[in-house]
């Protein structure tokens, strides 16, 4: 089931980041469907969060997407190389977002091989936000795509997140500080990074046919 708008517009971005663990991120790029199970996220709490692109109400051509209604893709270019995929959350004009830092590859691994040039796709091939976008074909030009209402054009780029019935127990969620945000001062220490270990999800691995 595609996650509904109501999932994203909740006010607690930290809870949304936790609840995204175990969900399946899907893309249809160039007519090819690929997907992976979300296993690592980071929450960014908008105008009050010094690590957020929208801190202090900052609005630029790039960050304007963050002020969209929850359930919108925010994809930005990092270091001029990597496209990083984020999910906008909360109501419109409240620029909360969740960075997807890691996925377990599921559907379309043959396409992922073509995109990456790797010899094989393993459980670790999607660990790291740049790798998430690489294997799923996500590009910063896809920023602004609605994750709730898929477009009618079967060849057009599309992204969505599915609930596949996996409930992640709170005891399986590892919490820590975010990566690469030392510039944010005390906010860099906030425990807004969440992760589940691949080895802890045998039922998920069986369901998705992972090796």
Domains of the chain are 5-208 (3.10.300.10)
The alpha-helical segments, DSSP class H, found in the chain are 5-8, 13-19, 109-116, 129-136, 202-208
With residue 74 as reference, give the H or E element that holds it.
Answer: strand 73-78
**Token duo for residue 181:** 């945000």
pLDDT 10s per residue in the chain (211 long)? Answer: 899 999 999 999 999 999 999 999 999 998 999 999 999 999 999 999 999 999 999 999 999 999 999 999 999 999 888 999 999 999 999 999 999 999 999 999 999 999 999 999 999 999 999 999 999 999 999 999 999 987 667 777 899 999 999 889 899 999 999 999 999 999 999 999 999 987 776 555 554 444 3
Residues 6+ apart with CB under 8 A from 149: none
């Amino acid at each position: 089931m595609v996650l509904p708008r109501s999932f994203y517009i909740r006010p607690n971005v930290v809870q949304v980041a936790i609840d995204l663990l175990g969900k399946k991120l899907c893309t249809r790029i160039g007519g090819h469907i690929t997907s992976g199970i979300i296993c690592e996220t980071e929450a960014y709490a908008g105008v009050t969060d010094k690590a957020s692109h929208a801190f202090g109400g900052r609005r630029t051509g790039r960050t304007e997407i963050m002020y969209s209604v929850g359930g919108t893709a925010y994809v930005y270019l990092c270091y001029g190389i990597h496209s990083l995929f984020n999910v906008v959350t909360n109501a419109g004009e409240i620029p909360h977002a969740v960075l997807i830092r890691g996925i377990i590859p599921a559907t379309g691994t043959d396409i992922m091989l073509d995109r990456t040039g790797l010899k094989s796709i393993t459980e670790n091939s999607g660990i790291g936000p740049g790798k998430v976008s690489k294997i799923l074909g996500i590009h910063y030009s896809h920023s602004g795509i609605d994750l709730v209402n898929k477009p009618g054009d079967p060849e057009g780029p599309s992204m969505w997140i599915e609930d596949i019935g996996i409930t992640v127990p709170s005891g399986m969620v590892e919490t820590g500080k975010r990566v690469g945000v030392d510039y944010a001062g005390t906010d860099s220490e906030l425990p807004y990074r969440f992760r589940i270990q691949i080895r802890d999800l045998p039922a998920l691995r069986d369901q998705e046919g992972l090796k």
